[in-house]
Chain A
Amino acid sequence: MTVKDRVAIVGAGCTKFGENYEMTYEDMVIDAVYEACEDASVEPSAIQAAWVGTSRYELIGQRGAATSIADPLRLFGIPITRVSNYCCTGMDAVRNAAMGILSGLYEIVLAVGAEKMREVGSRESLIEGAHNAGHPFIRKGYTGPGLFALLANRYFHEYGITREHLAKVAVKNHYNGSLNPKAHFRRAVTEEMVLKAPMVAYPLGRLDCCPTTDGAAAVILTRADMAALFRDDPVLIKGMALNVQSEKNMFDQSFDFLGFPPTQIAAREAYRQAGIADPRKEIDVAEIHDCFTITEIIDYEDLGFCRRGEGGQFIWDGISSLEGELPVNTSGGLKSCGHPIGATGVRMIHDIYKQIQGKAGPRQVKGAELGLAHTLGGPGAIACVFILGGK
């Protein structure tokens, strides 16, 4: 079965990302879904099936099931499925929704990603979770920044790049975020600020890390052949792939801590579906997983934007900047938008959708026709890649 050009995105919505202390999880779901429905000119009651991506319901005191969106949206009487797949959660919800269309069972479906991380302190939100969850000993001591710092140090050792290279990623994404009204951080930073920020997990300083953030995003999907009923500028899925590897990769002696096999494999599959031979030349704009600055550099290589070991030079040369040959994270990325886990992947698809429609405002990449979105979950254990394009 081919994937290319069979599913269309006809609506997208996204809340303001940030410390949304005045909103509940449900408020954000309502805002994102109604914005997507309005964008698609459909009533919520027209939705035939839905997928919800939320990773950490325990942060809002819930157990986690599809009712978490059915109740606030009054979306009763249709199948709704909860998806949870680490940081690929939201994007995998979209992938499952697209498979719902591909199956022929449904004509209008919803995918929503939402995460409320700041109902509790940022330390409780992730650090405690890492400390208390899982095996009582094995891996204990890991944190998000700590895991990616393991790669950074090995990468520095192998390829000789420095914290200055990482800082360029932060400067670029903060600048892009300053242009995005929905981003968590809307402040440009200098290289000096990045290098002098307090250390989080060596060599990653505070400005090398994405923040903990609240947010929700939603998309409405339909059959490509029905898209014209909703709008004249639908965006089509050209390829989509999910790849799952081990979350114990740090114990695997074949893992070199220089790249993420799930990204490499998912990208290869998505490029095959989309018929992409040279991603650097063919892709016009990309939203990729920059939970930490080192991650974006490694993503460049895993996604085939450059060869292994050349990610540092890629950012140094400005290829991924807004005016560059292949602009990356024009939204500001996880770095500036923030990273509400379940929302992130849907937010990326929302941003690429806007780029392809030419509605990205001051961040618009001229003539963007083909875009890529990529999320990476767990310690680089899961990756999801979407290729989106116009007609």
Chain B
Amino acid sequence: MEKVGIVSCGVYVPRYRLKREVISEAWGGPPAKGEKAVANYDEDALTMAVEAGFDCLAGEDPGRAEGLFFASTSGPYAEKGHSSLVAAVLDLQEEILTADFGNSLSASTAALRAAFDAVRSQTADRILVTATEQRACEPGSELELNVGDGAGAVLVGRSDLAAELEGFHSISYEFTDLWRRQGDLYVRWGDPPFTFRYGYQKAVPQVIAELLRRCGLQPKEIHRLALYSPDPRGHVQVAKDLGFDPQLQVQDSMADKVGLLGTAHPLLLLAGALEACRPGDRILMVSYGGGAHAFLFRATDRVAELASRRFVSRQIGNKRELSSYNRYLQFRDFIRKEVSRPFTRSEEPFTSLAFLWKEQKQDIRFYGSCCKRCGLVQFPMRRVCLRCGSKDQMEDRKLSRRGKVYTFTKDYVFLTPDPPGVMVVVDLEGGGRFYGQMTDCPEQLVEIGMAVEMTYRKWHEASGIHHYFWKCRPLLGGRE
């Protein structure tokens, strides 16, 4: 059988961390350790999937992806696909398959399995699988302590593999432990001792044992078990029961650093395992939710190159503390300051479906114009050249996502949940100038010459539509 596997992987953990003690202090609960990753006010599951996608495609040709799968239980739309928008933001081709996988926490691994099936059957050369969550948990609930925000991505393919797929196995297991009905705001959960013993502890050992049997392997031959658990320590218990060494073989769940990322979590664990492994190592990744999916990978010589990107440790290390529980509630729109409401005259920013459609290439794919006569790269797109005045001599030009701050301000009157609003003028690498909002940036850091990166963020709600557009943020790994 032809080899298929992982070409690349990506992770996105939002910058903000909320310490669990801040949550327990707010509600008067017992002290809790660790922290969780919290999306900024302008992020949601869709924007984080985009981030993970960009991270995964770093150095890859996005034009080679022949599919994009989006997996989440918390996508911003109940009806309307997210995958087509994510594919457009990542500037993938149009002649590809895009699909949304949802509802279950094993949606990501279902998408992964579908991607492997497609690549193996040669209906696609490469497929990008993204998984992302920003799940709403009831303020003051136990879930709120554990559930974090973030996204992962895997580029599946047939060549240039960093890890080969050696086998997979899935089981379907009807069980109700975590759920949210249509119209519910928050995730609900069943009695933990019962759901752990009769849900997780049944399905997960079964899928692992069967995959190992089919591959003819013993637990000791697995270098890294990347095992998701809805309980921060559940995976250790199950690993022990199956004969794995929790110290040496089990991938750190990172739950105390980022929280549990729902269906994105198995991809986070896989990325963490790949970052730490050597050529020849075997990784067993297992998800859980309405059943379980297990995948066995073996790292190739190319894994070192992938691991050198340190995508997980870099994302986890680059953090900023969210100072108060109130700010967290405000970021999630659970509470609103009256004065921060932008629309006291009940007006909304101009919205037009026709307008949004016309401007897709500029507003979503981030293209500008390049004058064929004088070579000036310009944004926003233009028909008449800003410099030489030629009419309709433009070609579309994909703009760089990186640039340097030419000038800036920190605006205390612009209405934002995270004042002051930092506005920047940025000269993009390769031409074009962007003027707009900076996000994820403490005000004292912004300065002329600072390296920034474009990020696709949630803007406003108008006419019942989620509106997204580009902002800048400090370049990850740049001077911060």
Given the interface pairs A131-B342, A140-B459, the reply to whether A251 lies near B407 with Cβ below 8 Å is: no
Chain B residues within CB distance 8 Å of chain A? 342-345, 347-351, 355-356, 363, 378-380, 386-387, 406-415, 420-421, 423, 425, 427, 431-437, 443, 448, 459-460, 462, 467, 469-470
CB 8 Å contact bits of A114-138 with B (1 = contact, 0 = none): 0000001101100110011111111
Complex Cα distance A151/B435, Å? 13
Q: Select the residue from B380, B407, B462 with max chain A CB neighbours within 10 A.
A: B407
Q: A131-B342, A133-B350, A141-B423 are in contact. Are A150 and B409 (CB under 8 A)?
A: yes
Q: Assess whether B344 is in contact with A124, with CB atoms less than 8 Å apart.
A: yes
Q: Of A135, A141, A251, which contacts B378 at CB under 8 A?
A: A251
- Asked whether B350 lies within 8 Å of A141 as measured between CB atoms, the reply is no
Kindly state the separation between the CA atoms of A190 and B328 in the bound complex, as whole angstroms. Answer: 40
Pair A202/B343 contact, Cβ less than 8 Å: no
Q: How far is the CB of A332 from chain B (nearest CB, A)?
A: 23
* B427 with A149: CB separation less than 8 A: no
CB distance from B381 to the nearest CB of A (A): 10
Q: Are B448 and A131 in contact (CB under 8 A)?
A: no
Q: Nearest residue in A to B386 (C-beta to C-beta)? A: A252
The 8 A-B residue pairs whose C-beta atoms are closest, nearest first, are: A149-B409, A137-B469, A154-B407, A250-B435, A146-B411, A202-B410, A201-B411, A141-B437
The complex places the Cα of A139 from the Cα of B349 at a distance, in Å, of 12
Residues of A within 8 A of B343 (CB): 128, 132
In the docked arrangement, what's the CA distance between A153 and B449, Å? 12
Residues of B within 8 A of A136 (CB): 349-351, 355-356, 459-460, 462, 467, 469
Question: Nearest chain-B residue to A154 (Cβ)?
Answer: B407
Q: Which A residues are in CB contact (< 8 Å) with B448?
A: 153-154, 157
User: In the bound complex, do residue A146 and residue B351 qualify as a contact, i.e. CB atoms below 8 Å apart?
Assistant: no
- Which of B421, B431, B432, B443 touches A141 (beta carbons < 8 Å)? B421
CA distance A87 to B412 in the complex (A): 22
A157 contacts which chain B residues (CB < 8 A)?
A: 407, 448
Within 8 A of B (CB), among A180-227: 198-202, 204
For B412, give its contact among A120, A121, A132, A201 (CB under 8 Å).
A201
CB contacts under 8 Å to B, within A233-255, are 246, 248, 250-254
Contact A251–B380 (Cβ < 8 Å): yes
Report whether A153 and B349 are in contact in the complex, using a CB–CB cutoff of 8 Å. no
Complex alpha-carbon distance, A153 and B432, angstroms: 21
On whether the beta carbons of B409 and A202 are closer than 8 Å, the reply is yes
Contact B363–A143 (Cβ < 8 Å): no
A145 part of interface (Cβ distance < 8 Å) = yes
Expressed in whole angstroms, the Cα–Cα distance for A200 and B414 within the complex equals: 9
- Shortest CB distance A146–B (Å): 4
Q: Once the chains bind, are A135 and B414 in contact (CB under 8 Å)?
A: no
A-B contact pairs, 20 of them (CB 8 A): A123-B344, A128-B343, A131-B415, A132-B348, A136-B351, A136-B462, A137-B363, A137-B467, A137-B469, A140-B437, A140-B459, A141-B414, A145-B411, A153-B407, A153-B448, A154-B448, A201-B414, A251-B378, A251-B380, A252-B433
Chain B residues lying within 8 Å of A120, measured Cβ to Cβ, are: 345
| Chain A residues with CB under 8 A of B363 | 137
Please indicate the chain B residues that have their CB under 8 angstroms from the CB of A154 in the complex: 406-407, 448
Among B355, B421, B435, B469: residue with most chain A CB under 10 A: B435
Interface string of A142-183 (1 = CB under 8 A from B): 110110011111100100000000000000000000000000
- Inter-chain contacts of B344 with A (CB < 8 A): 121, 123-124, 128
Q: Name the residue among B411, B436, B443 with the largest chain A CB count within 10 angstroms.
A: B411
- Enumerate chain B residues within 8 angstroms of A248, measured Cβ to Cβ: 380
Query: Interface residues of A, CB < 8 Å — how many?
Result: 42
CB distance from A295 to the nearest CB of B (A): 14
Give the docked Cα–Cα distance between A248 and B443 (Å). Answer: 25
Which residues of chain B are within 8 angstroms of A250 by Cβ–Cβ distance?
425, 433, 435
Q: Which B residues are in CB contact (< 8 Å) with A253?
A: 427, 431-433
A to B contact number (C-beta, < 8 Å): 134
A127 touches B413 (CB 8 A): yes
Which of A137, A154, A199 is packed against the most chain B CB atoms within 10 Å? A137
Of the candidates B413, B425, B467, the one whose C-beta lies within 8 Å of that of A145 is: B413
Decide: B379 and A150 in contact? CB cutoff 8 A: no
A386 at the A/B interface (Cβ < 8 Å)?
Answer: no
B409 x A254 contact (CB < 8 A): no
Q: Which of B380, B387, B415, B469 contacts A254 (CB 8 A)?
A: B387
B347: chain A residues within 8 A (beta carbon): 128, 132
Contact between B467 and A200, CB atoms less than 8 A apart: no
Q: 4 extra interchain contacts, Cβ-Cβ under 8 A, other than A132-B348, A149-B410?
A: A121-B344, A128-B347, A131-B415, A132-B347
Give A350 to B322 CA distance when docked, in angstroms: 54
Contact A131/B434 with A143-B411, A200-B412 known, Cβ cut-off 8 Å? no
Would you call A149 and B345 a contact (CB within 8 A)? no
A134 to B352 CA separation, bound complex (whole angstroms): 12
* Distance between B414 CB and nearest chain A CB, rounded to angstroms: 5
**B425 interface neighbour in A123, A150, A201, A202, Cβ under 8 Å:** A150
Give the residue name and chain of the B residue nearest to A122 (CB).
B413
CB distance from B48 to the nearest CB of A (A): 20
The yes or no answer to A51 lying at the interface (CB within 8 A) is: no
Distance (Å) between the CB of A206 and the closest chain B CB? 10
| Shortest distance between the CB of B419 and any CB in chain A (Å) | 10
- In the complex, chain B residues whose CB is within 8 Å of the CB of A254: 387
Complex: how many Å from CA A253 to CA B425?
Answer: 10
B379 CB contact (under 8 Å) in A135, A149, A251? A251
A216, B415: Cα distance in complex, Å: 30
Q: How far apart sit A151 and B363, CA to CA, in the bound complex (Å)?
A: 26
In the complex, A257 has a CB within 8 A of chain B = yes
Q: A146: which of B406, B421, B427, B469 is its contact (CB, 8 Å)?
A: B421
Question: Is B427 within 8 A of A200, CB to CB?
Answer: no
A333 to B460, CA, bound (A): 37
Task: A198 to B412: give the CA distance in the assembly, Å.
Answer: 9
Of chain A, the residue at the smallest CB distance from B421 is A141
User: Given A132-B350, A136-B467, A140-B349, A153–B409 Cβ distance below 8 Å?
Assistant: yes
Query: Chain B residues near A252 (CB, 8 Å)?
Result: 378, 386, 433
The smallest C-beta distance from B359 to any residue of chain A, in angstroms, reads 9
User: In the bound complex, what is the Cα–Cα distance between A133 and B469 (angstroms)?
Assistant: 16
* Residues of A close to B411: CB separation below 8 A: 141, 143, 145-146, 149, 200-202
